[in-house]
């Protein structure tokens, strides 16, 4: 049987969880190990560069650790995309979903990529983006329970 490889679109919330240990890191790192193509857009990279740079400016981590975060971002399992979603798609999705600007951009980009890669899944920890993605028939890498820390506590407790 010829199984298709996964096509995983990462937003910045998932990438930050990959780089900085939090309650979602284990499941995100597990998804990063999934065979397939892992896609990062220039917007996601820009968002995460600003976070790492803020950590550097505020001296929250040593310079060596900050440099290793930049290196990890450069050497991770990702393919980089320089893509701009269609303006009409942005307008239509903005009308349908109450998202902030970057979440709207990620949703429109995923919809655009889904035309080429129907198997595309989105890896996000943003509940609103996840809800809109489901509503647009974009598969999620993480289920609702994974996005809700209280749900995980109830399941394990």
Structural domains in the chain plus CATH codes: 6-156 (3.40.50.1010)
Q: What would the pLDDT profile of 22-53 be if each residue is shown by its tens digit?
A: 899 899 999 888 899 999 999 999 999 999 99
According to DSSP, the residues that pair with 123 across neighbouring strands are 10
- Cα–Cα distance for residue pair 131/10, rounded to 1 Å: 15
Cβ proximity of 122 and 9 under 8 Å: yes
Q: What is the pLDDT of residues 100-138, one digit of tens each?
A: 999 999 999 999 999 999 999 999 999 999 999 999 999
pTM assigned to the model: 0.85
Share of the chain above pLDDT 90, in %: 74
CA distances from 53 to 15, 45, 67, 136 (A): 15, 12, 10, 34
């Amino acid at each position: 049987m010829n199984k298709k490889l996964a096509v995983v679109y990462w937003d910045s919330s998932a990438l930050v969880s990959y780089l900085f240990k939090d309650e979602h890191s284990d499941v995100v790192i597990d998804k990063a190990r999934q065979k397939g193509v892992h896609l990062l857009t220039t917007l996601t990279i820009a968002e995460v560069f600003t976070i790492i740079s803020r950590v550097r400016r505020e001296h929250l981590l040593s310079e060596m650790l900050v440099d290793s975060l930049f290196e990890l971002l450069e050497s991770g399992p990702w393919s980089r995309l320089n893509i701009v979603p269609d303006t009409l798609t942005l307008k239509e999705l903005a009308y349908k979903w109450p998202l902030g600007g970057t979440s709207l951009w990620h949703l429109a980009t995923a919809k655009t990529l889904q035309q080429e890669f129907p198997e595309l899944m989105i890896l996000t920890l943003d509940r609103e983006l996840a809800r809109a993605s489901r509503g647009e028939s974009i598969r999620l890498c993480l289920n609702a329970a994974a996005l809700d820390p209280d749900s995980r506590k109830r399941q394990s407790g």
